[in-house]
Structure 1
């Protein structure tokens, strides 16, 4: 008896004839697809695919198995879909966002998703940047719009939805506050307030709160806070400065803080991520919906 992944991997690879595209469609790694196919071939003691460095083709036995399995699989899938539509219990997807401007996009996408799929429930929650991956890894959220980079083996990332220029938040009386723009090299002359890094990937923190300037000069590190409001309080009280998306000024402007744009900093890129395994079947539908909304918004 075939396992579900074996069946889906075989039929998808038989259609795509490409391990990478098959893995992408099934939201698993290419090596997982390769291992699954090899396991299936060992079970039947015969190759189902001929593959080399350039092409993947079905063997005669592979074609026979595809032709026998496909109709049954399609019938089962159709029956499950029909039963799902007739079920009075609504399907649920939980989505998260990590910044107010991400929240605006997420709410618009949620409204459109509910119109298109009225049989679904969408739960939306804000994700604290001090633990950007925890809610997803615990299974609390199925999809998250967040600051990149994200490079985790158990998490799949989608395309960049939008990018924001970067700014430095400085106290109103700070010498930088009178500048029209700043260089990343200026960070060597300030104390940088950051987020606590117990649950934040090191590469993520180094991108958003660097320890050195592009030329290698050390950046003095100030308090590491647990929540964004604490960063704002420290900056307004003159404890230090902190990096942010320039767009944050629209949501967090206050008398004691000035947002000064960087002229040479890389943008902050925002994109979607979701678990690589055990994915909610509604994820790809939501990905398509939010991409459509992001395109019209930006």
Structure 2
């Protein structure tokens, strides 16, 4: 079976743009006869006519038009990858993964980043993403992956690594009446105004962050949206709102005007868990290597100090 050569695909795509053998030859820097040879070779490989040509006009056949529409995105991706690799080689630069995150990135994660560079020659470009838009930048191809709270049920996404599950705590102002308690029952949320992530996240993800009702069915009020964790903590400190946070955030974002309390009565399935998420059709080896390194780092992660009244747990970013 004769292979399809990239030059044949390039020729057909150029001809589809120009619909003229002469102009196609000029763009490719070859003769018209070479254009005809490349198209004919591709047609023999495909076993179907792709181009109708007469002395007056050139047109794609119906199959040819469909094939061009299907193959063009793959060709453009290939040329982009080759151009990027060439530019990195010219500049002596590292391949970089673009990774988004919410809140903070902690020691185990940064150690995995260091090892990815040292062991695989892949650097990391980090960017904080809006709290309520966990998947948008990954789906749009603006990021290679994101460390975000689960669940991630989008069919286009893969969860390459799941961080250790964490308890969910309630952040309240230090002078709030609840701040004097050792813990708060989940039904108490019905009397509070709980901050919610603001963005374009799917409904199932929003409901996992801030449930619409307590387990007993009482509605949970949520009148204010936030874009970052720090924005939320500032609003909590002001006293009008409370915020559900993961334990690692409480461990590291300690401040005198906010107290984080364990929430009792959730039942099963209400822990917080982060995941390293990427597009299923872009699972490059560097992402799999990063997931494996995170698995190694968190397998031996020490237990972190907890805020007063909160037992310690394994660390993760959040």
TM range, smaller chain? 0.5 to 0.7
1:273 paired residue among 262, 273, 277? 277
CA contact (8 A) 2:161 2:277 kept: no
Q: Take 2:146 and 2:172, find their aligned partners in 1: how far apart are those partners?
A: 29
Find out whether 1:147 has 2:143 as its counterpart. Answer: no
Change (3 A) 1:278 1:250: closer
Structure 1 counterpart of 2:286: 282
Q: Take 1:183 and 1:2, find their aligned partners in 2: how far apart are those partners?
A: 66
Change (3 A) 1:234 1:3: farther
Matched position secondary structure for 1:222 = coil
The CA deviation string for residues 135-174 of structure 1, in whole angstroms up to 9 with x for no partner, is 2122222122221111101111134221111110112222
Q: Take 1:89 and 1:112, find their aligned partners in 2: how far apart are those partners?
A: 17
Deviation at 1:257? Answer: 1.3
Structure 2 counterpart of 1:7: none
Q: Take 1:117 and 1:159, find their aligned partners in 2: how far apart are those partners?
A: 18
Instruction: Spell out the pairing of 1:1-298 with structure 2 (5 A cutoff).
Output: 90-100=94-104, 102-118=105-121, 120-196=122-198, 198-265=199-266, 266-297=270-301, 298=314
Deviation at 1:277? Answer: 1.1
Matched position secondary structure for 2:282 = coil
CA contact (8 A) 2:103 2:230 kept: no
RMSD value, Cα: 2.7
Deviation at 1:270? Answer: 1.6
Structure 2 counterpart of 1:17: none
Looking at CA atoms only, which structure, 1 or 2, has the larger radius of gyration? 2
TM-score, length-scaled by structure 2: 0.62
Deviation at 1:89? Answer: 5.5
Q: Take 2:99 and 2:111, find their aligned partners in 1: how far apart are those partners?
A: 13
Change (3 A) 1:3 1:249: farther
Structure 1 counterpart of 2:76: none
The CA deviation string for residues 184-231 of structure 1, in whole angstroms up to 9 with x for no partner, is 1110121112222x4112111111111100111111223122332221
Deviation at 1:97? Answer: 2.2
Query: What stretches of structure 2 of length at least 5 have no aligned partner?
Result: 6-45, 48-81, 302-313
